[in-house]
Amino acid sequence: MSKANAAEQSEDQNIITLDRRTNDRRQGNPEAVDTGMMETPRRKKQRRRHIDPTTCERDYNEQEIEFMRAMDDYKRAAGRMFPTCSEVLEVIRALGYVQLTREQFDALDLNAEEDNGGDDFDSSEDLEADLEEELADA
């Protein structure tokens, strides 16, 4: 017992102080009764993962909201907060999306500009040409 504790107890027998800075209290009491509280593991706390497009800065279209909800469902089912790129591709394919080559796109005679406003399909050649134009202007 430290000198401070002994002095305080001699002044007043009703006051007991405990020096919490010592390590002996952390070693445990071998005579303590085990209550079995940790026999059942703690349940994993569920985080709030609800997708609410109204809280975001911009308006999302229906396809974007569908993708966000599909990702949210996948995260809940897999128990993963941060899916890998291959898992994201898995979700995209599960939604029914497929990647077409330019030849497949032309063979299907699809015109993305008429169907969806031209935002959904950009070939790598178009993107490359746009980037070259931006670099030339800079």
For the chain (138 residues), the mean pLDDT of every run of 10, in chain order, is 60 72 62 64 60 68 89 91 93 92 86 52 65 73
| Torsion angle defined by CA atoms of residues 22, 26, 29 and 30, in that order, rounded to the nearest 10 degrees | -120
pLDDT of residue 74: 94
Q: What is the rounded distance in angstroms from the CA atom of residue 73 to the CA atom of residue 79?
A: 10
